[in-house]
Amino acid sequence: MATVAAGVRQSPKRARPKRRHMSFWTWFWLIMAALYFLVPLFSTLLFSLDTGAHQYGFKWYAKTFADPQFRSTLWLSLRIAIETVIIGLVLMVPTVYWIHLRLPQLRPVMDVISILPFVVPPVALVVGLSGAFNVMPWLLSNWWLILPLVYVILALPFTYRSLDAGMRAIDVRTLTEAAQSCGAPAWKTLLFVILPNIRTAMLAGAFLTLAIVMGEYTISSLLLFNTFAVYIYYIGNTQAYQASALAIISFALTWGAMMALLLFSRGRGRAGGVGQGAVGGR
């Protein structure tokens, strides 16, 4: 017995997992990277708080918030972003789902199509659109729809790839067939089984779309929309302090959206559970 006890007794100085020490160069590059991002941000923040004569305050922020153009352009951009997200998801979720379920051979084709917006310059996109007005005159009477439609194309790489990654993480075919064998029609399968399990991917796609739309200048400017990005550009050309405040506000909005994404994606259950269970066991 004594032997057994001795065998299992543990040393009072129990071996702790070794703390990984980062080398000098790891720290160096880490700090350099942090400075690269933080210094301009901090400088912009400082500049936006400068009220003159070495005094700091929220004067430029107050002025920005009081500007009716700020609210109207921000609201316009937000509205367009939301419309873009909705149209993009309504178009792409069923498409990507169907490709994964029935047409996996089309995935390479979709991969190529999805990167086209990176290849075609925004100016060319606008020129192409002006040609579309001649063919589809109804677009002119539904002017408000133009930017969301263009932005859906612009955001396609991000929407498609997020959704594609989300669908790859789950066994779409098995889940669909399981739902069908339970008596669920296609739309209920998509709504109750597939969508909840690609929620994070949808949110990621939505967030990226939101970020792109909020910051897009070229197309909105060429199509004469007074969006938030156009407003920032205008203020930047005329009032430097207020432009800095706007940049910080824009940055805060982006981070807010990212935090919201993190909060929403931390739901119960876990996507991608198919095929990932503990094999064996009880």
Partner 1 sequence: MATLDLQGIRKVFGATVALEELSLAVKSGELVSLLGPSGCGKTTALRIVAGFEAPTAGDLLVDGKDFVGVPAAKRNMGMVFQAYSLFPNMTARQNVEFGMRMRKVSRDKCRKRAEELLGLVGLAERVGNYPHELSGGQQQRVALARALAIEPAILLLDEPLSALDAKVRVELRQQIRGVQTRLGITTLYVTHDQEEALSISDRIAVMSQGNLEQIGAPADIYRSPRTEFVANFVGLMNGFEGRLQSADTVLVGASGRPVPVTETNACVAGDSVMVMIRPESIGLRELVDGAAPPEGTFEGKVVMHTFLGSVTRVTLSSDLGDLVADEPSLRALTMPPDTRVAVQIDPAGVRMLKR
Interface positions with partner 1 (CB under 8 A): 170-171, 174-175, 177-185, 188, 192-193, 196-197, 267-282
- DSSP structure class, residue 10: -
Q: Rounded to an integer, what distance in angstroms lies between the CA atom of residue 217 and that of residue 245?
A: 18
Q: Which residue has the tokens 């994964």?
A: 100
The length of the chain in residues reads: 282
* CB closer to partner 1, 59 vs 199: 199
Instruction: Name the residue nearer to partner 1 (CB basis): 28 or 192.
Output: 192
Residue with smaller CB distance to partner 1, 71 or 102: 102
Nearer to partner 1, 54 or 268 (CB): 268
Asked if residue 89 lies in contact with residue 185, where contact means CB atoms within 8 angstroms, the answer is: no
Element (H, E) at 56: strand 55-56
Record the tokens describing residue 99, joined without a space. Answer: 């490709």
CB 81 within 8 A of CB 220: no
Report d(CA 228, CA 56) in Å as an integer.
Answer: 26
Upper half-sphere CA count for residue 70 (Cβ side, 13 Å) = 17
Q: Cβ closer to partner 1: 256 or 267?
A: 267
